[in-house]
Amino acid sequence: MTESPAEVWTNACIATMDGPEPFGLITDGAVALGNDRIQWVGKRSELPPPFDRWPDKDLHGRLVTPGLIDCHTHLVHGGNRAREFEMRLMGSSYAQIAREGGGIMATVRATRAETVESLFRSALPRLDALIAEGVTTVEIKSGYGMDFETESTMLRAARALGSLRKISVLTSFLGAHAVPEDFRHDPDRYIDEVCLPALDRAHADGLVDAVDGFCETIAFSPDQIKRVFERARQHGLPVKLHADQLSDLGGAKLAAGFGALSADHLEYTNAAGARAMAESGTVATLLPGAYYTLRETRLPPVDLFRNHGVPIAVATDANPGSSPITSLLTIMNMACTLFRLTPEEAFLGATRNAALALGLHDRGIVREGYRADLAVWDVDHPREIPSRIGPNPLVDRICGGGT
Ligand code: DI6
Ligand code: FE
């Protein structure tokens, strides 16, 4: 990968996702790049020295945005769940399949049979699909091992993906994803004997950037999630939570109580949960891919989040079961079409707010001093991108100044 030289992009329409203007739009704009950072951004007519003497690159009026951020994925996993896709088409429910030992546990059985190398190789095409759509930062979870070794194996594969491709990878430990078969009648013992020791080990090996959990009737109770989050707190790790996806267990409020970076899914989140998230600065990460795939009918309370000033992010939730989708552009369209976000909210959800959902404050906005993570699109206005599904309008992408 080559580092890009210091240069000024000119004759660009820039959606900074910053400031009071819709999309933070700057027409006939310029952005100066150097040392992997944005050095200046503004109207081309106001370009100050020394940037006005730097080599320039004419973008011919194309759109520049922050590089996209996919803040919730399960990209690393073994096997596929196409058979369950057929079963659901024939009337089985996601929860029923999970209760019968399928669902997440089917992928666990497949993943435990893999190595770091094989998990890395099978995830690479999924990562490349995101990169092809302008993604410059991606979050990747464990959660299909749920044993002492495989949780770390998954996270090592995730770290390897970030070293081979020009993209930032953040990892989340998701040992509390589902109750493994041999602990089916004693989930507390799974938390104590497997999940927490696996977290301790993965953290000690530098594999964990955040800790996640699945708080749901088919997964873990609020009390069990609390124990995982208390261990995360002991390690100084931030938390996030799959919350209120299929029922209201107060997951959003629980997450907010731990100052979570984000609470995700949220179809069943109530007003108390939204209030708590607003007070704690927890981001609402909406996952329309899972809502679409599982043909859910309960919409997340978008107006509650809006009215309480809760930042909204959107993400693929790319996983083999509930959201087998590796297109963040499609997710942006679904967030508008299914959840009624505006195109600007969808774009904020895949840039600025997605960065906040990962605890990142150096990207997601085109602003001086931020990372030179940028995407260039062959469209006239940013609203065009969430307004359609295909063709992919990306024409260039730089990550930390490099390609
Ligand atoms: N919620 C989801 O939608 C995914 N995990 C979770 O906690 C489902 C993952 C899968 O079905 O494999
Ligand atoms: Fe998920």
- Take residue 192 and report the two structure tokens written for it: 């104590």
Centroid of ligand 2 to alpha carbon of 3 (angstroms): 33
Whether the pLDDT of residue 240 is over 70: the answer is yes
- The amino acid sitting at 43 is K
Report pLDDT for 218.
Answer: 85
Q: pLDDT confidence of 94, banded at 50, 70, 90?
A: confident
Query: Quick one: which of 148, 159, 152 has its CA closest to 173?
Result: 152
Probe ligand 1: pick from 104, 109, 266, 298, max atoms within 8 Å of CB? 104
Report pLDDT for 2.
Answer: 47
Condensed to tens digits (0 to 9), the pLDDT of residues 254-278 reads 999 999 999 999 999 999 999 999 9
C-beta neighbour count of 15 within 10 angstroms: 27
Report pLDDT for 123.
Answer: 98
- Take residue 358 and report the two structure tokens written for it: 């990962």
Give percent of the chain with pLDDT exceeding 90.
95
- Which residues contact ligand 1 via a Cβ below 6 A? 74, 103-104, 107, 177, 214, 242, 245, 290, 317, 319-323
Centroid of ligand 1 to alpha carbon of 321 (angstroms): 7
Report pLDDT for 99.
Answer: 84
Token pair 């009624």 in the structure block, residue: 340
Condensed to tens digits (0 to 9), the pLDDT of residues 324-366 reads 999 999 999 999 999 999 999 999 999 999 999 999 999 999 9
- H helical segments located in 195-250: 196-204, 222-234
Token pair 């993943």 in the structure block, residue: 111
- Take residue 6 and report the two structure tokens written for it: 């210091």
Report pLDDT for 81.
Answer: 97
**Phi, then psi, of 201 in degrees rounded to 5:** -70, -45
Centroid of ligand 2 to alpha carbon of 170 (angstroms): 15
Q: Which atom of ligand 1 is nearest to the CA of 287?
A: 3
Q: Where are the beta strands (DSSP E) in 146-227?
A: 168-176, 210-215
- The amino acid sitting at 14 is I
Whether the pLDDT of residue 287 is over 50: the answer is yes
Cis peptide before 187 (omega within 30 of 0): no
Q: Which atom of ligand 1 is nearest to the CA of 242?
A: 7
CA neighbours within 13 Å on the CB side: how many for 222? 14
Query: Quick one: which of 114, 43, 40 has its CA closest to 77?
Result: 114
- Tell me the pLDDT of the chain averaged across its residues: 96
Mean pLDDT over 114-124 rounds to 98
Report pLDDT for 4.
Answer: 59
Whether the pLDDT of residue 1 is over 60: the answer is no
Q: pLDDT confidence of 3, banded at 50, 70, 90?
A: low
Whether the pLDDT of residue 154 is over 50: the answer is yes
